[in-house]
Amino acid sequence: MNMKVGAFVEVYFRDKQGELKDRSVKNKRYMIERHILPYFEQKSMNEIMPSDIIQWQNKMREAGYAQTYLRMLQNQMTALFTHASNIYNLTNNSCKKVKKMGKSDADKMDFWTYEEYQKFINTIEMGSRYYVLFEILFWTGMRIGELLAITKKDIDFQENKISISKTYYRTEGRDIITTPKTEQSVRTIDIPEFLTQEIRKYCEKLYELPADERLFPIVGEAVQHKMVRHIQKAGVKRIRVHDLRHSACAYLAHQGVAPMIIKERMGHKDIKITLNTYGHLYPNE
Of 102-111, 131-140, 198-207, 264-273, the poorest mean pLDDT is in 102-111
DSSP for 56-102, please give it.
HHHHHHHTT--HHHHHHHHHHHHHHHHHHHHHH--S--GGGGSPPPS
Q: Which residues contact 195 (CB under 8 A, 6 or more apart)?
A: 135, 136, 139, 140, 160
Contact 235, 119 (CB under 8 A): yes
Amino acid at site 12? Y
Mean pLDDT on 19-30: 88
Apex CA 198: angle with CA 192 and CA 201, to 5°?
140
On whether both 76 and 138 belong to a single domain, the answer is no
156 CB-side CA count, 13 A: 11
State the CATH number of the domain containing residue 209.
1.10.443.10
Buried b (16+ CB within 10 A) or exposed e, 241-264: bebbbbbbbbbbbeeeeebeebbb
Buried b (16+ CB within 10 A) or exposed e, 114-140: eebbebbbeebeeeebbbbbbbbbbbb
On whether both 93 and 120 belong to a single domain, the answer is no
The number of folded domains in the chain is 2
Burial class (CB in 10 A: 0-12, 13-18, 19+), 18: exposed
Q: Is the pLDDT of residue 105 over 90?
A: no
Mean pLDDT on 8-30: 91
Mean of the per-residue pLDDT values of the chain: 92
Q: Is the pLDDT of residue 108 over 80?
A: no
Last residue of a domain, one of 97, 125, 143: 97
How do 155-156 and 161-164 pair as beta strands?
Answer: antiparallel
Q: Domain for residue 108, yes or no?
A: no
Q: Domain for residue 106, yes or no?
A: no
State the CATH number of the domain containing residue 92.
1.10.150.130
Query: Considering the chain, what percentage of its residues have pLDDT values greater than 70?
Result: 98
On whether both 159 and 194 belong to a single domain, the answer is yes
Rounded-to-integer distance, Cα 249 and Cα 111, Å: 9
Burial class (CB in 10 A: 0-12, 13-18, 19+), 221: exposed
Q: Domain for residue 180, yes or no?
A: yes
Rounded-to-integer distance, Cα 45 and Cα 198, Å: 57
Over residues 116-164, the pLDDT tens digits come to 999 999 999 999 999 999 999 999 999 999 999 999 999 999 999 999 9
On whether both 81 and 210 belong to a single domain, the answer is no
- How remote is the C-alpha of 102 from its chain's centroid? 18
Over residues 210-227, the pLDDT tens digits come to 989 999 999 999 999 999
Looking at residue 285, its pLDDT comes to 61
pTM of the model: 0.77
Per-residue pLDDT band at 183 (split at 50, 70, 90): confident
Last residue of a domain, one of 97, 132, 163: 97
Rounded-to-integer distance, Cα 142 and Cα 164, Å: 9
- How remote is the C-alpha of 272 from its chain's centroid? 16
Looking at residue 20, its pLDDT comes to 86
On whether both 231 and 162 belong to a single domain, the answer is yes
- Compute the 3-state secondary structure of the chain and give helix, strand, coil in percent, each to the nearest 5: 55, 10, 35
Last residue of a domain, one of 71, 97, 123: 97
Per-residue pLDDT band at 19 (split at 50, 70, 90): confident
Q: Domain for residue 166, yes or no?
A: yes
Of 106 and 97, more confident: 97
Q: Which residues contact 248 (CB under 8 A, 6 or more apart)?
A: 137, 138, 139, 140, 141, 266
On whether both 33 and 69 belong to a single domain, the answer is yes
Rounded-to-integer distance, Cα 18 and Cα 191, Å: 35
Rounded-to-integer distance, Cα 97 and Cα 91, Å: 13
Over residues 156-180, the pLDDT tens digits come to 999 999 999 999 988 888 898 988 8
Over residues 28-66, the pLDDT tens digits come to 999 999 999 999 999 999 999 999 999 999 999 999 988
Q: Domain for residue 107, yes or no?
A: no
On whether both 77 and 145 belong to a single domain, the answer is no
Looking at residue 106, its pLDDT comes to 63
On whether both 75 and 44 belong to a single domain, the answer is yes
Instruction: Give the domain extent around 159.
Output: 114-281
On whether both 78 and 151 belong to a single domain, the answer is no
Per-residue pLDDT band at 89 (split at 50, 70, 90): very high
- How remote is the C-alpha of 2 from its chain's centroid? 36
Q: Domain for residue 102, yes or no?
A: no
On whether both 92 and 127 belong to a single domain, the answer is no
Rounded-to-integer distance, Cα 251 and Cα 57, Å: 37
Contact 171, 23 (CB under 8 A): yes
Question: How many CB atoms lie under 10 A from the CB of residue 205?
Answer: 11
Looking at residue 284, its pLDDT comes to 67
